[in-house]
Amino acid sequence: MRFALAVTLSAALLLTAGCKGDPSTAEYWDKALDAGKKHKDKVKVVEELRSKNPKPTGILEVLHKHLASEKSGETKAAIARLLGEMKDPSSVGPLTEAIAPGASDSDEKAMNKEIAVALGNIGDLKAGPALRKLLSSKDGFTQVAAIEALGELKDKESFDGLYKLATDEATEPFINKKAIQAVGELADARAVPGLTRMMFKERRGVSFYLEASYALYQIGPAAADGLLTVLEGKDQELNKWAQEAGIIDAALAAKAAQVLGDLHENRAEKLLTEKLKFDHPALDIKLFVRLRAADALGRMRSKDAAKALAGMLEEPEATARGEYCRALVKIGAKDQVPALVKAASKGSWDARDGALIAVALLGEERDLAAYEKFKKDEEGLTRAECKEDDMVKGCKDPDSLVKQHLATLDAYQKALEAAKECKADGACWTKKLDDGSEWVRTRAAYELGRSGKADAAAALTKKLTDSNLESRLAVIQSLAWLIHDSKDAAAKAKEALPALEKQIAEEKGKTEFVKVNEDLRRLAVLMRRN
């Protein structure tokens, strides 16, 4: 590795050794580029200049001149890359003129791709016409770079071209996905029908749901009308298409419910509450719709749905019962704690767990007695479960499993003890955002989010980096509520947008945050929109 570095540095020194003058001047680099005998030599000069993070003064003119005069696509690609990093609007014209419309060899194709990336990085709408032409490039890498650049520019004139690529079944799925993302950046309501259909579309085993649902969220309230029609089952054109494509009604309802919940679309409340009773012979399909409806109602804080959700806590399927409990927590349905206490008192550990958490996150000081009873009864419940089915995880060693469950209950109970201390005191709950217990932090976030107080937004934005996913999700959801509830809270939250965007970029690709950071991305959109 050291040898390779030495060789690289030596080559760069040899290239510029014959160039007399000050390396901090544009003239020096102009001569160095002229001195390069081969295009690879010129590329090394550009890369050396790039490593110095050059200032625009004088250098831009040199780079523009060589971009126009060089014959090598590889050299031009290197110059384009550097110009894109320098981000000066004066480079748009030279970069545009350097595009090779009928690129056939690999170097020219790579050059076109780097030019498209550079134009996107510069961020000047004057690049729109050139990028729109590159949408029809036969080189996929160039096409993707143009798509992404137009999305970054939010170039409204590119809607037709991007929308066609987003929905065209003859296009490669990866191109579809990139185009869907770019269309979302435009936030044009004309895209709602096509994006709605793409939520349910699958080709070659590839789903477009994540990209299409996020793009609909970016469009915002303007997307809600169409999604309400889907949830009602009254989009006849979509219904016909879905039937021909073999897509069941349940999928239409469930995915529409999810996006409507993300949008906090209150007009969907009655329809979603009705979907809690959705029935189907196949248990997984029935629960799929019910769970998505419950999640949406929770995000919307639907007080009217609380009683219906509490009535579903007898559900034996653990995942479903847990989702209903989470919805009640988000709604803040403290009047349903007795029903949660009952649900937490019987069934398997997995079935009880969601209710045990919900009691801790919703209960008051008086409910500490219920928690003491939970701990008293836990050994008997655990041993009975293991006796009934010794294949349950941990049941090979019931004594250790009992200790594990009791330790978990102690951890949950800390949130109830915090409620005893803080009650409705916002300042107290703000301090609890720094607590060592993730369950105390989670409860604190929900309490502040439901408070409607603008001052809580500033405190919550500082906790968006919480490493515990449960706590982070609570912070994200609570901030969304405050932004919806208060213009003052929205303004305070927006101050954190640069830090949030940086966090999203830094955590991109980190698997532990993938799921929760889908909500983090939506929060950033909400901040920009309000």
- Compare 195 and 36 and report the one with higher pLDDT: 195
What is the arithmetic mean of pLDDT over 152-179? 96
d(CA 376, CA 404): 14
CA 148 to chain centre: 17
d(CA 360, CA 408): 12
pLDDT band at residue 106 under the 50/70/90 scheme? very high
* pLDDT for the residue 20: 62
Residue given tokens 């809600």 in the structure block: 224
- pTM value? 0.90
Contact 404, 355 (CB under 8 A): no
And the tokens for 69?
A: 């005069």
What is the arithmetic mean of pLDDT over 169-181? 95
Q: What would the pLDDT profile of 254-275 be if each residue is shown by its tens digit? A: 999 999 999 999 999 999 999 9
What is the arithmetic mean of pLDDT over 417-428? 96
Per the DSSP assignment, residues forming a β-bridge with 203 are 206
pLDDT at 3 over 70: no
Lowest-confidence segment of 4-13, 20-29, 241-250, 372-381 by average pLDDT: 4-13
* pLDDT for the residue 204: 84
What is the arithmetic mean of pLDDT over 502-526? 90
What is the arithmetic mean of pLDDT over 183-205? 94
Which CATH fold would you assign to the domain 154-300?
Answer: Leucine-rich Repeat Variant (1.25.10)
Q: Is the dihedral of CA 118, 120, 121, 126 positive or negative?
A: positive
Q: What would the pLDDT profile of 448-466 be if each residue is shown by its tens digit? A: 999 989 999 999 999 999 9
CB neighbour burial string for 111-136, b if at least 16 within 10 angstroms, e if fewer:
bbbbbbbbbbbbebeebbebbbebbe
203: DSSP letter = E
Q: What would the pLDDT profile of 128-143 be if each residue is shown by its tens digit? A: 999 999 999 999 999 9
Contact 359, 330 (CB under 8 A): no
Per the DSSP assignment, residues forming a β-bridge with 206 are 203
d(CA 113, CA 108): 9
Q: What would the pLDDT profile of 234-257 be if each residue is shown by its tens digit? A: 999 999 999 999 999 999 999 999
pLDDT at 123 over 70: yes
Start-end of CATH 1.25.10.10 domains in the chain: 1-151, 154-300
Q: What would the pLDDT profile of 269-327 be if each residue is shown by its tens digit? A: 999 999 999 999 999 999 999 999 999 999 999 999 999 999 999 999 999 999 999 99
Secondary structure of residue 139 in the 3-state scheme: coil
Which CATH fold would you assign to the domain 1-151?
Answer: Leucine-rich Repeat Variant (1.25.10)
